[in-house]
Structure 1
Amino acid sequence: MGNRKAEVVSIPHAESLLHADCEGEEVNCEISPYSSRRAPGEGPCRTSWFIATLRLSSGISIVLVLRGPHCSIQEKEHDATLHPKLRIPMSKEGTLLTTVEFQSSSRNTSLHMHLGGSVTFDCRFALAPSSSLSSLEWRRQHQGSGRSLFRYQVGSTDPAAQPNVHVDVKELLGSGDASLHLQGVSVGDEGTYICLLSTPLHQAQHIIQLHVAAPPRVRVIPEVVSLERDVTTTLTCNIAGYYPLDVSVSWTQKTPEDDTEIPLSNARFSSHRQSRDGTYSITSYLSISSATARAPATYSCHVSHVALAEPISVSSHLKPPKQMGSEGLVGGFIATAIFIVVLFIVLRRRAAKPKSEQLLRASE
């Protein structure tokens, strides 16, 4: 539809848009006619409106409501240079001059947060002097259901808000900051957040995805185990407190003779368990047989998860069977000698007891 020039309301993040190519970012721009509530008093040649959406790969999103020129009856009657489809007046160069009546922006289209943290959903706006804000609403949608988190009607006394969410109404009315603050992020807070701004004539919205993640806690039991003959030892790897569900668990073995860790495929797994806070846990079992195992060796449980910057590895150390050394022999000899001496004393006392009883009877 040709070039457009925006006036009246400044476009936010202009520097990021200007230097997007230098930063290696992608810019997506969409412009389409906008159907607004018809302004009172407009005749058959009504004002043309457009909505433009700019998105940067970095996450910045900008929505512009553009107002085109108001054609006159004379232009309509004389069939001035009109766009063939939109039927709006254009210059001889084929350009259309528009003004920005309403703009809103957000720095985020997707956020990733750990459980228990605090997050701010950025949403800001600016209006032309001829327009004013009517209402702000924040909604959350997830898996087919939605609910209102915050709603404020300009002129009302108090906004309607859910627990743990907050919008600064003074900043909203003063600087156009409609950002939503959420404290104590839980698994149940994951979803799509929508910032819906309304004026008497227009509406604009921003959509922000919140992804919640919790890293797993990993523990191997026992940490140290001795290899015994004709005994099968089971190592347990407990993985708990992670979200979302997908987790990868594997075992490896490494002896002093091995250059690298050797993957093991004989591990067993429990089913996934979900706790009250929405996080998951799973247990992996590895059986070590004295007939096939070599000691000393290190058995490691490796866990990968989206909430981890790198996999977690926790190990159990397998020691060789206990051998009796010289110190052990000496200790065993001493213990045996003590036992023999004690046994001799006890038996001697028992043997002497009947003789003493006979002497006592004779004296009577």
Structure 2
Amino acid sequence: ILSLSTETVDSPTPLPPFRRVDIALLCSYMREDVRGLQPAFGRLSSEHSATLVLRSIRVRDDGNLGDVTEYKVPQEVSGSPSSIVFEASAQSVSIPHAEYLLHADCDGDEVNCEISPYSSQQASEGPCHTSWFVANLQLSGKISIALVLRGPHCDSQQEEKEHHAMLHPILRIPMSKEGTLLTTVEFQSSSQNTSLHPRLGSSVTLDCHFALAPTSSLSSLGWRKQHRGSGQSIFWYQVGSTAPAVQPKVHVDVVELLRSGDASLSLHEVSVGDEGTYICSVSTLLHQVQHIIQLQVAEPPRVHVIPAVVSLDRDTTVTLTCIIAGYYPLDVSVRWTQKTPEDDHVEIPLSNAHLSSHRQNQDGTYSITSYLSISSDTAQAPATYSCHVSHMALAEPISVSSHLKAP
């Protein structure tokens, strides 16, 4: 006898279909100075408004795309000497976090985009050499993306003659008939956490991914930590070497690095000494891109008030002690309030408390103590005295109370 179950099994929710769209981003172009030098501190550079158009990018259609249309180059671009429009094809390299870039305006996020020439040799190689650019994107200070763009180049003498007559007035490189610069994405790297606040003893992953066009290959990966003027290499891998050079407590999966472009670094048993600026550097034979991740330890305080219950005799004074321990970083705010049964919804701020000096513990965290004196001459029992502590590692202040009993 064959028995069939009558229970209905929920089928998995199908993923939204993919769709190809154009993503247009307003950018700044940092122009090299007259000497052909890269923009850098102490060197001359000028800034121009620019547009980066990522062509035919594959994104999930969640039903909110509507009638998204292909980006049309404005007619005024070809006639304007100050217009800089980069059209970037990404047929060989996928664009990371494309959905976030597409919906940034609707989600209230801000995309900062800066484009600069990668090589400083453009001026000496003529209008038909291959030009390289790097576009750095920051999405609301959380996601960073670097795109290495390969500019137009000439495949024949006829093309070179045509390009000589169609040079961009600012960049002095070949442009399309519409007045845009046709580029391809050859190398992309991204990080989805530019700032981390792990707790002591936890493990944290510093995200860094990349993808290369088939014509490029990974040369090396390095992770470096900088803090208070000093720096050190904590991971280095050269493709072809037998093993990476790595510091204790850190790990990069070399198999995943080579297979999928996952260059993320895992940091175990976080301590105060791990705080600093971490730099992920991904290199090919021609290019290098970097991502900067700030790591700041955030350990919330432990708060105790002693005694928890107190009674006052006539002509006496009692001191309440609020112990705030084990927090990091240093800044902490402490305040006291009083509440009575007659007015249970109103907390009266008290100003007669005083603080000890900060004490640093062996693990690098801090402690402090706040004292509040209660006199039988002024106190009204019963009452509740509360110590409120605010710290960056807390989503909301901690409040711990001591109860004054009626005589």
Question: Could you state the TM-score of these two structures normalised by the residue count of structure 2?
Answer: 0.74
- Percent sequence identity over aligned pairs: 78
Report what 2:318 is aligned to: 233
1:275 counterpart (361, 373, 383): 361
Report what 1:357 is aligned to: none
Q: Which amino acid aligns with 2:222?
A: E
- d(CA) in 2 for partners of 1:93 and 1:77? 18
Matched, 1:284 2:370: yes
Report what 1:152 is aligned to: 237
- d(CA) in 2 for partners of 1:124 and 1:219? 44
Gap runs ≥5 in structure 2: 1-83
Q: Which amino acid aligns with 1:56?
A: L
Cα contact 2:190–2:291 (8 A) shared by 1: yes
1:13 counterpart (92, 97, 104): 97
Cα contact 1:115–1:186 (8 A) shared by 2: yes
Cα 1:187/1:37, change in 2 over 3 Å: farther
* Deviation sequence 1:72-116 (CA, Å, 0-9, x none): 656656732111232211122111211111111111111222211
Q: Which amino acid aligns with 1:30?
A: E
Cα contact 2:307–2:320 (8 A) shared by 1: yes
- d(CA) in 2 for partners of 1:81 and 1:171? 44
Deviation at 1:21, TM superposition (A): 2.3
Cα contact 1:253–1:261 (8 A) shared by 2: yes
Matched, 1:26 2:110: yes
Cα contact 1:248–1:305 (8 A) shared by 2: yes
Report what 1:127 is aligned to: 212
Report what 1:49 is aligned to: 132
Runs of 4+ in 1 over 4 A off after TM superposition: 42-45, 72-78
Secondary structure at 1:276's aligned position in 2? coil
- d(CA) in 2 for partners of 1:36 and 1:128? 23
1:66 counterpart (145, 149, 157): 149
Matched, 1:208 2:293: yes
Deviation at 1:257, TM superposition (A): 2.5
Report what 1:171 is aligned to: 256
Report what 2:19 is aligned to: none
Gap runs ≥5 in structure 1: 322-364
The correspondence of residues 169-208 of structure 1 with structure 2, limited to 5 A, is 169-208=254-293
Deviation at 1:277, TM superposition (A): 0.8
Q: Which amino acid aligns with 1:202?
A: H
Matched, 1:257 2:359: no
1:2 counterpart (67, 76, 85): 85
Deviation at 1:210, TM superposition (A): 1.4
Cα contact 2:86–2:183 (8 A) shared by 1: no
Matched, 1:245 2:334: no
Q: Which segment drifts farther, 170-179 or 82-91? A: 82-91
Deviation at 1:25, TM superposition (A): 1.7
Secondary structure at 2:296's aligned position in 1? strand
Q: Which amino acid aligns with 2:116?
A: S
Deviation at 1:211, TM superposition (A): 2.1
Q: Which amino acid aligns with 1:64?
A: L
Report what 2:226 is aligned to: 141
